[in-house]
Chain A
């Protein structure tokens, strides 16, 4: 069985959902090993073990993340070399893609981003032009480095848990790197991350500054709140909530679009969602062309009524 390296680029105390998905995918392709770009405490190592990880590579200097991207990319390249991995998997967040990009140059290896499936022969399936095309790609040179989108596979623990052995690898310090000198945490919303959420309730111009009914429905469904560019540009919600060509690309199980016309810029970020529900006053909104269920109506009456009904049925 080939060795499959999962790179955990932004480690927390325990495994994140996307990391569990990557480890599950790794288990289908070969023997999973992990590389953690920072410190790994016991809860994280136990988590890795439950996905069958036998070896966990750590940077000799855990502050490898102090420089922007360059340090973690150098670590990924060293971990691939040290493990003899046949393929490396990591997430598809911007920073993860950039780490993949630089490690690819260091290893003279091809990188494929936005991957949604990987076959046994390492052919990767990815979407192109914001989901207008589905393509099959292969890495033809070096060790494939694949950035895999969240929600591409259902996470499942391994049948045979392992106790990972930790190995520290020396990472060459990049000669010239930008340094992260400050970090301000944003207040936590308690809602899931947009990229990983199974349900997203998104609002646009029609929300007119009031996201409360969207937040209520999102919280009932355990979902995240997103927005069109019109809503973020208006300052109604922070920019990181933007879904679309210049924001995030999401593929949740359920996308509820409220007060969004659904122009190209927005469609690019959400058209690969499994089920799309749209509410808009304008019957000619393009969003209705791609909606599985559309309501021509006022979101301020439809959303609260739906929320009330869900509460009633659950009571």
Chain B
């Protein structure tokens, strides 16, 4: 293995506390914000954390001076996403929390995260999941790259780092519908990964015990140099005007095949003018 540049890699992984998609999810209150009870570490962020841990392990581990920091923003309970990341193997955690953050859209979220990462950094690598499983916009990683002026390598399905004297070179594979691309850049960079990149590890007992001793910091807006007007509802560039639950699909006809189900299926399609 080639000699790694010193000091080691400083990696930030963004993690989000999201409503568990296994249950019904709700928008609440006068401003239609997300109801966050029954929340968990976003499944899609586990792939980002696993990717960070694997990169560290492939390049000499903690002994080489590499460091993985799990970062989140959100209300008090959001810290549980960071705790899970510490159990999986991140070295330290940071939680940006402030009442004023409530209602942040992608632009306000990316502004807050950019300020937080600038405050904590500099980082060689910022890793994220491909989307949150609640907002599902996939906007934040791209906006963060724009704000931090970092090359963006998004939706990576495979990832490699190569060390050279001049620094680290990152190569990624990105799979589209019609083609697959190879992407290259120098670090620092922002990378989002898909659920195809790896199989995230489960925290083991040792990891769970070790996590309790790991540093976990809580920061407020003023700690990272932001005012309340720059984030939350006030700092957002979009607004929800109304939201209503989609009427549940009414159950249609269910038949049991008695040898003619294919014909009855075609009858149904013809009746719906779908043939």
Chain A residues within 8 Å of B, Cβ to Cβ: 67-70, 73, 94-95, 97-102, 104-106, 108-114, 123, 127-142, 175-186, 188, 193-194, 199, 221, 239-240, 245-246, 253-254, 264-265, 268, 271-272, 275-277, 279, 283, 288-298, 301-310, 313
> Residue B251 contacts which of A181, A291, A303 (CB distance < 8 angstroms)?
A291
Question: In the bound complex, what is the Cα–Cα distance between A239 and B173 (angstroms)?
Answer: 14
Q: A94-B138, A101-B146, A264-B21 are in contact. Are A136 and B240 (CB under 8 A)?
A: yes
Residues of A within 8 A of B133 (CB): 245
Closest Cβ–Cβ distance, residue A36 to chain B (whole Å) = 18
Residues of A within 8 A of B140 (CB): 101
Query: Closest A-chain residue to B20, C-beta based?
Result: A264
Query: Closest A-chain residue to B246, C-beta based?
Result: A134
Closest Cβ–Cβ distance, residue B231 to chain A (whole Å) = 13
Find out whether the CB atom of A140 lies under 8 angstroms from the CB atom of B239. yes
Interface contacts beyond A98-B142, A176-B149, A292-B272: sample of 18 additional A-B pairs, CB < 8 Å, sorted by A: A68-B152, A99-B142, A101-B106, A104-B139, A111-B137, A129-B25, A131-B246, A133-B27, A137-B240, A140-B239, A141-B236, A183-B180, A194-B177, A264-B21, A277-B269, A295-B261, A301-B261, A301-B262
Q: Does B110 contact A (CB under 8 A)?
A: yes
Q: A101-B143, A184-B179 are in contact. Are A305 and B152 (CB under 8 A)?
A: no
Find out whether the CB atom of A69 lies under 8 angstroms from the CB atom of B252. no
Q: Does B244 contact A (CB under 8 A)?
A: yes
Stretch of B67-75, B181-189, B204-212, B222-230 on the interface side = B181-189
> Residue B195 contacts which of A99, A246, A305 (CB distance < 8 angstroms)?
A246
Find out whether the CB atom of A135 lies under 8 angstroms from the CB atom of B240. yes
Query: Closest A-chain residue to B274, C-beta based?
Result: A254
Give the most central of A101, A140, A182, A199: most B CB within 10 Å: A101
Find out whether the CB atom of A102 lies under 8 angstroms from the CB atom of B145. yes
Q: Does B7 contact A (CB under 8 A)?
A: no
Find out whether the CB atom of A140 lies under 8 angstroms from the CB atom of B262. no
Query: Closest B-chain residue to A142, C-beta based?
Result: B237
Query: Closest B-chain residue to A74, C-beta based?
Result: B146
Chain B residues within 8 Å of A, Cβ to Cβ: 21-22, 24-25, 27, 32, 43-44, 105-107, 110, 130, 133-134, 136-143, 145-147, 149-155, 157, 170, 172, 174-186, 189, 194-196, 236-246, 249, 251-257, 260-266, 268-270, 272, 274-275
Question: In the bound complex, what is the Cα–Cα distance between A183 and B239 (angstroms)?
Answer: 39
Residues of B within 8 A of A221 (CB): 274-275
> Residue A138 contacts which of B147, B183, B238 (CB distance < 8 angstroms)?
B238
Question: In the bound complex, what is the Cα–Cα distance between A211 and B4 (angstroms)?
Answer: 47
Closest Cβ–Cβ distance, residue B79 to chain A (whole Å) = 23
Q: A179-B184, A182-B182 are in contact. Are A306 and B266 (CB under 8 A)?
A: yes
Residues of B within 8 A of A254 (CB): 269, 272, 274
Residues of A within 8 A of B269 (CB): 254, 277
Question: In the bound complex, what is the Cα–Cα distance between A246 and B44 (angstroms)?
Answer: 8
Question: In the bound complex, what is the Cα–Cα distance between A116 and B240 (angstroms)?
Answer: 15
Find out whether the CB atom of B243 lies under 8 angstroms from the CB atom of A128. yes
Q: A69-B154, A141-B237 are in contact. Are A302 and B254 (CB under 8 A)?
A: no
In the A-B complex, the 6 residue pairs with the smallest Cβ-Cβ separation, listed nearest first, are A305-B262, A297-B257, A110-B237, A182-B182, A292-B252, A101-B142
Find out whether the CB atom of A94 lies under 8 angstroms from the CB atom of B155. yes
Question: In the bound complex, what is the Cα–Cα distance between A176 and B130 (angstroms)?
Answer: 21
